[in-house]
Amino acid sequence: MPVTQQYLSDLQLQRLHDKKRPLVAIMTAALLILCTGLVAASVWMIWSSWHVNRHEAEVTTANMAQALAAQADTALKVADVVLEDAVERAEADGIDGEAGKRLQEHLSQLVTKAAEIHGLFVYDEHGKWVATSLAAPQAGNNADRDYFVFHKTHRQRGTWISAPVRSKSTGLWIIPISRRLEHPDGSFAGVALATLRLDSFERVYNSLNLGLSGTIFFALDSGTLIYRRPFQENLIGMDISSGSLLRTYRERGPAGTAMLMAKVDGVERLYSYRHLERFPVVVAAALSKEDIFARWRTFSLQVAAGVLSAIAALIWFFRKLMRQITIRDRVEAKLRVATGELETANRVLKSIASQDGLTELANRRRFDELLDHELKRAQRKSSPVSLILLDVDYFKKYNDTYGHVAGDDCLRAVAAALSGAAARTEDLAARYGGEEFAVVLPGTDHAGALCVAESIRKALVALAMPHTASPLGIVTISLGVATARPSGERSVDKLELIRDADAMLYRSKSDGRNRATG
C-alpha cells in the first residue's frame, strides 16, 4: 500500500476510534452505575427485610406477653379475692371447733366458684391444718414452708406469692398465694393459703408458637423464677434477679421489648415483658434470634446470589458488546452519513410535495388528498364535511397598486387568518391557487362552517390592511361555504362539493364581496 494511502487509512481508523472512546466511557459509566444500583437495591432489600422480620417478632412477642399478663393477672386476682374472703371469715368467726367446720364448708364452696383455684387452706399459728377445701383435713404441718415463715416474721397483711412447691396433699406443682391471719391483738394467728396449679399455666403457654428456641417465663420481680418454658423442675425457684431481663425491667419500666442474652441457657432472644399492675410478677415471651432471622438469612443469600449473577451477566455482556463496537462504528458512520442525506432529501421532498412555499399552508395536492380521504370517512360514519373556498377581493388591483412583494405579504396575512380559524388538528387550511384558498372542516355541519367562515372574514378585516383600489378601502375576502352529507345510500363526489362551494363564492362576489355565503 502506498504511504499516502496507508496514512489516510490510519487517519480514518483513528477518527473512528476517537468516536468510539466517548461511547465506551459512557457505557462503562452506565455499567458501573447499574451494578452500583443493583448492589444498593439489594442492600436496601436485605436491610428492609431485616427490619420487617424484627418488627413482626416484636409485635408477636408483645402480643404474647400481653396475653400472658392478662391470664396471670386474672388468676392472681381470683386467688386474692378468695383469700381476702377466707381471712375475713377466719378472723371474724375463729378457726376452732364449730367455727372451723363452717370455715371448712365455706372454703369448699369458694373453690367450686373459682376454677383457677387448686385448693384453699387455713393453718393455725403452729402450722397445723385447720381447714381445707379438700374432702377432709390432712395430717401434717406446714410450718416449714417459706410462706408460713414469712408471714410469721412479717406483719404484712397483703397477698404474698411464693416460689412453686410440690403439694403435700396432691403431689402436684403449685404456686402458693397466702395471707397472714392475726388475733385481735395483732399477733400472728396463722396463714390462709390459696394454691394455683402450675400446669394450668403450662397448658396456656404450650398453646403459643415460640419456634424452636423460644421461651416463656413467669417470675417474681424480686428475681424468683416461678415457671419457665421449656419446663425444667430444677429451674423452679431459681434466682434470676441478676439476669438481663430483670435488669432491663428495672431500667426501662413495667413493659418493653429488647434483644437480650438469657442467663439460663445463654441463648440470645427478643424478649417482650410486662409487669402486672397489682402483683409483684413479671411475665415475658421471647423468640430466639436464630428463629427470627432464619428466613431472612435465606432470603438475603438468595438476593445476594441473584445480584452477583446479574452483575456477572452484565459484565459478560459488556465485554461481548465492546468487541462489536469497533466494527459497528465503521458501519454506523457510513450509515449515519447516508441516513442524514436521505432524511434531508425526504424533508425537502415532503415539503415540496405537501406545502405551499409562500404561505406555508397545505398545497393543492395535499388539499385534494385530504378532501378525498375525509369524504370517504364521512361516507362510512355518515358525518358531514364542510368546505370553504375564498379569495382576496380585488387582488389584481392590489398587486397593480402595491406590487407583487406586498401582494405576497397580503397572501401570508390571509394564510395566518385561515390557520387561526382552522384550529382543530383534523381541519386543513390550504392554498387552492393564486389568491384562492380553501378550508376543509371534517365533522362540521353547515351552520358551524358558516361560523368559521365568518370568523376568518372578521379576522382579516380586523387587520385593516389598506387597499386603496378597493371600494372598501381595506383588504377583504369573499367566502363560499358548502357542506356534504353523505350516507350509506348517498355518496358525495369531491368535484360536486367544490362546485357547490365555488358557486357560493361567486354569489358572495355578486352580492358585493366581503361576505360569507352558504
Q: Which of 60-64, 71-75, 122-126, 328-332 has the lowest mean pLDDT?
A: 328-332
- Where residue 2 falls among pLDDT bands split at 50, 70, 90? very low
Assigned domain for 302 exists: no
For the beta carbon of residue 372, count every other beta carbon within 10 angstroms: 11
Choose from 26-35, 195-204, 328-337, 457-466 the range with maximum mean pLDDT: 457-466
Residues 135 and 192 in one domain: yes
Q: Into how many domains does the chain fold?
A: 4
Q: Is the pLDDT of residue 16 over 70?
A: no
Residues 394 and 437 in one domain: yes
Residues 386 and 261 in one domain: no
Residues 371 and 511 in one domain: yes
Q: How far is CA 445 from CA 283, 330, 518, in A?
A: 85, 58, 11
pLDDT tens, residue by residue, 232-289: 878 888 888 888 888 888 888 889 998 888 877 788 888 899 999 888 999 998 988 8
We report the CATH number of the domain holding residue 372 as 3.30.70.270
Q: Is the pTM of this model over 0.85?
A: no
Place of cell 462503562: 28
Residues 384 and 489 in one domain: yes
| Mean model confidence pLDDT for the chain | 84
Assigned domain for 311 exists: no
CA quadruple 505, 511, 515, 517: dihedral sign:
negative
The pLDDT > 90 percentage for the chain reads 28
The domain boundary residue, chosen from 133, 168, 200: 200
We report the CATH number of the domain holding residue 156 as 3.30.450.20
Residues 151 and 43 in one domain: no
Range of the domain at 211: 202-294
pLDDT at 338: 67
Assigned domain for 104 exists: yes
Residues 147 and 222 in one domain: no
Q: How far is CA 316 from CA 31, 312, 313, 324, in A?
A: 11, 6, 5, 13
pLDDT tens, residue by residue, 298-337: 888 888 898 889 888 888 888 887 777 767 767 666 766 7
Residues 371 and 382 in one domain: yes
- Where residue 20 falls among pLDDT bands split at 50, 70, 90? low
Place of cell 465503521: 330
pLDDT tens, residue by residue, 176-232: 999 999 998 889 999 999 888 887 777 777 777 777 888 888 888 888 888 888 878
- Where residue 138 falls among pLDDT bands split at 50, 70, 90? low
The domain boundary residue, chosen from 200, 218, 236: 200
Residues 222 and 196 in one domain: no
- Where residue 3 falls among pLDDT bands split at 50, 70, 90? very low
pLDDT at 180: 93
pLDDT at 415: 92
Assigned domain for 301 exists: no
CA quadruple 251, 255, 259, 261: dihedral sign:
positive
CA quadruple 403, 405, 411, 416: dihedral sign:
negative
* Rounded Cα distance, 47 and 49, in Å: 5
Assigned domain for 143 exists: yes
Place of cell 400472728: 188
Residues 454 and 470 in one domain: yes
Assigned domain for 308 exists: no
Residues 118 and 137 in one domain: yes
pLDDT at 466: 95
